[in-house]
Structure 1
C-alpha cells in the first residue's frame, strides 16, 4: 500500500530461519523517534487523516487512508519491526517450509477477535478464499495469486462489465492450496516455489476475519471487528475515524494511549496549522510552505522527525484505450526526461526527497541504482528530440491529476511547468477533491492523461515494488500495463531459491520498465512529520507511517 541507504536483507532467507525468532535493529536516523522512556500511558491523541477509498476491510483496502487505520486494528501472522521492517512472528507461532512451496502455519493458541470469538486456522483460510474469489471483488485478491488453485477462483469471461457471466464463471470458491489441519494449524501450497512468502504474511490482505464479516460484509466495512491493539469505535464519514485501546489484547505490541482519532482534512495546510495551535497532535505530512528553509523545524522545535522510508512517488499514464495520446513509449520517456527532479526537490521539498533513478525503493534488498537510465535524467533537448521522433504530442494539452487533500498542488504544478518548458506542450495540473474520489476515478478507468501515484511498501521486498504494480492484471496496476516478458521474470524471480539469483531476475524485470515507461519514477520519500506539545514518542516506521503503539501523551 508504503530513502536511500538502509537495506532490509530478507528476500530469500528460508522461512524457518527468518521467522523462528524475532529479529530487530536500530533506526538509521536518530531523529525518527523521541526518548522511549518519556511520556505516559493513557489519554487521547488526534491525527491527520483522509477519506478511505473503500470500506474498512483488510482484503479490500489497498491505500494509506484506510490502511493507516486498519494497521493497529488488525494483527497479522507476521509483524514488521517499526525501525527496520524486519519480519517477526505475531499471531503465528511458527511458519515452516522445507522447499519454499509447501508451508505449515501454526498460530498461537487462545487468540481472539475484538468480539471475543476465537481466531482459528479456519479464520485465515476462509478469509483468504473469500478474498481470492473474483466475484467478491476484493481489491487485494491479487495477493493470493501464488497459492495453488487461485486460477480456478478467477472469472474468465470477455465481458468487461461482468467477466463472470456464463462460461466465464469461476470454477471453484476455494483454493486447493489451502488446507485446515486443526484449530491452530493450516497449510499453504503454492503453484511454484515462492521464497519470500513468509515475508508477505504481515500485509493486511492476509489478516484473519471473524464470522461476523460473512454475516454482513457491508456493516463490517463500516465498523470492522479486528484483533489488534486498537478497536474501531466509530467512523464518522467525511469527519473522523475513532480507535479505542483493546484492553483484552494479549499480543506483544500493545497500545499506550486510550484513544486515537483520525481527523479528516481536505488539505494538509489546515492540519499543520492545527498542530501549531495544539489542536491536532500529529500531522503525517508537512505542507510545501513549511518545508521551505526548514520552516517546520523552527515552527516545531524538537517536535519533528524525518526518516528514509519505503515509499516512492511516481506519475502513471492512463491506459491506452482511455488516453491514446500517451501510448507511444517515446512520448512517455520524453515526458520523464522533461521533469527537473532535482530543482523541484530543492525548491518545493527543501531536499526532503531523493530523485528516483528507478521504480524500486533503496530501502529494500535488491535495489539497483540507475535502472531508469537516461530517461530519469533531466535533459530538455533530448526530451524534445525524442518527442519529435515520436511525431509530437497529438493532444491539446498534457494533464497531471492529483488528489487535492494531500498537499500535492505545488509539486504537480512545478512538474507541469518543467514539462511545458522542455517540450513546448501545454501542461496543466488538475486537482481532484479528495483521495477517495481520486482513486475511484482511477479504478473506474475514468482518469485521463497522467495522474499522481505513490507506493508505500506492503512488505520489505523488491518484489513488492514491481509485482503488484506492473504485472498483468495486478491489483495496483493503474495503467493496465502488460508485458509477458516482465511477467515471466517476476514469476521466475519469486521461484528462485538463491537470493542473488532472485534479485538479478527482479532487476531484469525492472529494467524492462525503462523501455515501456508505464509510470515515471519521480522521487524516493524521506517521510517528514510533526507533532503537538501534548504528545511524546512519535516514531516514523520504515513504511513511512506512525507507530501508534509507541505514542504517549505528556
Structure 2
C-alpha cells in the first residue's frame, strides 16, 4: 500500500519548541565587523551519491545539497518556513495547490528557474526507473500510483500553467502540504541535468546560496563551495565560501579543530564530549534537535519472524541499558528514547502504550529470549551481528557496549560487524544484505511527526531499512493524513506508534542533541532545528 506524506505544523510556520544553549555566536555588531571573504572549513563525510536533490537522503550529501540548491522555501533556525522562490502556495480545498514562483532567478549557467524547472525535477524524482532515494516524497501527488504501475514518466497531478506558475493536485486533502516544500527533494533542476544525471551529480548547475567550485568535488578529500553572486534570499552567505573537508573519523577532525586546521565541527567524538567545552571556551554550542538513534531488526531474517521473532525483538530492547551507555560513552548528552520520533516535534507524547518495552529489564529480556527459543530455537553457534559504519562519532564505542550487554543479558554471542564508511553501510542496507541487526537513526527532513514514521516504516518507504510491512500501521498513517487538523493528526500518528511497539521493526535507543565547536578564526556559529550548523551565517574574524 502506498502512503502519503504529511508535514506536522501549519502551512507557513511551524516553530519547534526546542531549547538552545550556546557559547559564542555573534551579535549584529560582531557580524558587521566580520570578515565576509573568509573561506570556512567544515567537517563532512563523503556523500553516498551524486549531488542531486532527489537522490540525497543522508547527511554527507545533505549538508552540501542544502547549500547548492534552493526551492520554494527553506527552514529557518527554529524550523519555520521562510520563502525562497515561492511568491505564493495556495489552495481552496487543500487538494489542488497553485504555486507561483519569483520571476527572474537563474541557475548558475544563466538558465532561468521556471515552473517547468520544478515540474521536470519532481517528475524525475517520482519516476521509479530513475531509482531516486527520495522517490517516496512524491507519492502524495496524483498520478503517482498510475505512473509507477504503467511506467509513465510524468505525474498527472503536476501541470505547468505558465513560466512562473504550476499546480499540484494531491491524492487527498493535506492542509500542511506547503511545509514539506523546504526539503531538498523538491528543489528545481536545469535542463542540462536531464542530459546525463550521473555526470550532472558530479558537477551540478545549481541555484542556491553557493555553487560548486570548478573541480570542487575531490572525492574523499574535500568539497569546495563558493558564494553564488546571483542568489537573493534569506540565506545569503556571510562568508567567502565553505570548504567541506572529508574525514574518515571524528577524532581526526577534532584534532584538526584543535590545531586550527579545521574551523567548524558539528559533531563531537565521544572521547571529546567531556572536555570540548574546556577545549573551546566561548566557542561551543549544544542543542537538542529533531533526531534519534535506533537499531534496525530486518524482517527478512528468519530468526526475527513470527511469534518467536517478536519475542526476540522485545528481548533485545529490554536487554539494553540505554542510560548507562548515554552516561558512560556520551557523558549525558543524549536522552533515553520513549517512542519513535523526537521530543522537539509538535505532538510528541512520552507515554504511548507499549513503550515499557524500552525499559531496561534484563531478567524479563532473558525470559522472553528463552520463550522464543521454545517456539523456534536460535541457530546453534549463530553470532548476532550488529552492522555499523565506524566513521561516525561514537558508533564503534556505543555498539560495542550494546553487543556486550546483549551477550551478557541474553546468554548469546553478539559482535560488532564493522564497515569502514557510512556509504558502505548504506549500500549493504539497500541490498538487503544485513546478516543481523543494524545501526540506524533519523534526522528530520522537516519538522513533523509523520516524517519520523512514514518514510521509515510505511510499506515500501524509501528509508524502510528493515523492509517492515503492516497493513494496520499503513491504514493508521492514512487516517492521520486525512485528519481535519494538525492536532488531530498527531493523536492518530501516536496511535500508529502503538502498533510499532507491538512489532518493533526497529528498537529506539535515544534522542539526539548536537554539540559543535569552532576555531578562533570564525564566529556566528549557530545550530538549526535539525542540528546542522547554519553554514551561510558563519563569518571569519
Q: Does the alignment reach a TM-score above 0.5?
A: yes
Q: What's the CA shift for 1:494?
A: 1.2
Matched residue SS, 2:275: helix
Contact map agreement 2:17 2:346 (CA 8 A) in 1:
no
Q: List aligned pairs for 1:381-530, cutoff 5 A.
A: 381-391=363-373, 393-394=378-379, 396-407=382-393, 408-530=395-517
Contact map agreement 2:82 2:234 (CA 8 A) in 1:
no
Query: Under a length normalisation based on structure 1, what TM-score does the superposition of the two structures give?
Result: 0.91
Q: What's the CA shift for 1:240?
A: 1.0
Q: List aligned pairs for 1:148-297, cutoff 5 A.
A: 148-155=142-149, 170-233=150-213, 234-291=216-273, 294-297=274-277
* Structure-2 residue corresponding to 1:103: 97
CA distance in 1, matches of 2:397, 2:527: 24
* Range 24-33 or range 235-244, more displaced: 24-33
Contact map agreement 2:36 2:239 (CA 8 A) in 1:
yes
Matched residue SS, 1:513: helix
CA distance in 2, matches of 1:444, 1:187: 36
CA RMSD of aligned residues (A): 1.7
CA distance in 1, matches of 2:24, 2:496: 36
Q: What's the CA shift for 1:317?
A: 1.3
CA distance in 2, matches of 1:195, 1:519: 30
Q: What's the CA shift for 1:26?
A: 9.4
Q: What's the CA shift for 1:24?
A: 6.5
Match 1:130 to one of 121, 124, 132: 124
Q: Structure 1 residues 26 and 324, CA, compared in 2 at 3 Å: closer, same or farther?
A: closer
Q: What's the CA shift for 1:25?
A: 8.7
Matched, 1:326 2:326: no
Q: Structure 1 residues 290 and 255, CA, compared in 2 at 3 Å: closer, same or farther?
A: same
CA distance in 2, matches of 1:96, 1:330: 48
Cα deviation digits, residues 396-435 of structure 1 (max 9, x gap): 1211111111121111101111111211111111211101
Cα deviation digits, residues 476-517 of structure 1 (max 9, x gap): 001000011111111121121222221111111111100000
CA distance in 2, matches of 1:128, 1:25: 28
Cα deviation digits, residues 58-97 of structure 1 (max 9, x gap): 0001101100111111112111111x10112221111111
Match 2:65 to one of 70, 95, 101: 70
Which stretches in structure 1 are left out of the alignment for 5+ residues?
1-9, 156-169
CA distance in 2, matches of 1:173, 1:208: 17
* Structure-1 residue corresponding to 2:52: 57
Which stretches in structure 2 are left out of the alignment for 5+ residues?
1-6
Matched, 1:316 2:296: yes
Contact map agreement 1:356 1:522 (CA 8 A) in 2:
yes
Query: Under a length normalisation based on structure 2, what TM-score does the superposition of the two structures give?
Result: 0.93
In the alignment of these two chains, the number of paired residues is 521
Cα deviation digits, residues 321-354 of structure 1 (max 9, x gap): xx32222111111101111000000000001100
CA distance in 1, matches of 2:516, 2:413: 34
